[in-house]
């Protein structure tokens, strides 16, 4: 009849749900993820998730936005302006790869979102904005490199950005099928280091004038 103690911690609960959702969506994808699984991970009641986020789709969107925010924050850490173009480009490539390695959920979430034709983020203004920064960084690097005659001309920044991402993303996102085919564990630290070096070589090779 009398409730002795009920923990109330709105912000804490919200954050726990978000984190749990991130893990669940990353592990199983949008369709494979279960609301039951999320609330169990979060250690909160079912309805609380609905109370805060409205439903599975909205929760997924919020998870996606948070993921993009973290990605942007990670990239913002990188101070490239004072580096030489080649050094800057190398660092950008390594930084991008490192983020995928440290945050495998990024890959799961993006794959899920693409399977659903990006319906969740298509409308999100937040996300779109995040990328202007990246494009600017790349454009600036390219300009300085061309000026210093260490980079070729006629490079499309978008294509370059996509290629930088692609070379690491695909390696990690398809690690299981590739691993099954080549009978190797693609995530062992030495192989990861080798891959990173390879990607740097590919990108710098391409940019060589």
Site for DNA in 48-77 (CB under 7 A): 48, 50-51, 54-57
C-alpha distance from residue 26 to each of 40, 57, 102, 191 (Å): 16, 14, 13, 23
Q: Which helix (H) or strand (E) holds 62?
A: helix 56-76
User: For every residue of 158-190, which 3-state class applies, written as one string?
Assistant: HHHHHHHHHHHHHHHHCHHHHHHHHCCCCCCHH
Q: What does the alpha-carbon distance between residue 162 and residue 133 come to, in Å, rounded to a whole number?
A: 15
Residue 163 touches which of a copy of itself, DNA, none (Cβ within 5-8 Å per kind): a copy of itself
Residue 171 touches which of DNA, a copy of itself, none (Cβ within 5-8 Å per kind): a copy of itself
Residue 50 touches which of DNA, a copy of itself, none (Cβ within 5-8 Å per kind): DNA
Using the rule CB under 7 A, give the single segment among 38-46, 137-145, 147-155, 179-187 that binds DNA.
38-46
118: Cα separation from own chain's centroid: 15
Residue 10 touches which of a copy of itself, DNA, none (Cβ within 5-8 Å per kind): DNA
Which residue carries 């600017």 as its tokens?
A: 136
Using the rule CB under 8 A, give the single segment among 2-10, 14-22, 41-49, 121-129 that binds a copy of itself.
121-129
Give the binding site for DNA (CB under 7 A).
6-10, 12-14, 33-36, 44-48, 50-51, 54-57
């Amino acid at each position: 009849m009398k409730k002795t103690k009920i923990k109330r911690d709105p912000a804490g609960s919200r954050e726990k749900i978000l984190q749990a959702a991130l893990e669940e969506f990353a592990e199983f994808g949008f369709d494979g993820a279960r609301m039951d699984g999320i609330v169990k991970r979060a250690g909160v009641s079912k309805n609380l998730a609905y109370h805060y986020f409205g439903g599975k789709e909205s929760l997924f969107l919020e998870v996606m936005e948070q993921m993009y925010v973290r990605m942007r924050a990670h990239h913002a850490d990188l101070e490239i302006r004072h580096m030489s173009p080649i050094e800057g480009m190398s660092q950008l490539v390594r930084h991008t790869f490192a983020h995928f390695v440290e945050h495998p959920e990024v890959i799961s979430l993006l794959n899920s979102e693409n399977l659903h034709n990006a319906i969740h983020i298509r409308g999100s203004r937040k996300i779109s904005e995040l990328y202007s920064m990246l494009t600017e960084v790349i454009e600036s690097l390219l300009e300085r490199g061309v000026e210093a005659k260490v980079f070729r001309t006629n490079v499309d920044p978008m294509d370059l950005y996509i290629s930088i991402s692609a070379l690491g993303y695909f390696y990690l996102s398809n690690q299981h099928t590739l691993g099954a085919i080549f009978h190797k564990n693609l995530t062992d630290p030495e192989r990861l280091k080798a891959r990173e070096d390879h990607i740097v070589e590919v990108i710098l090779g391409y940019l060589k004038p």
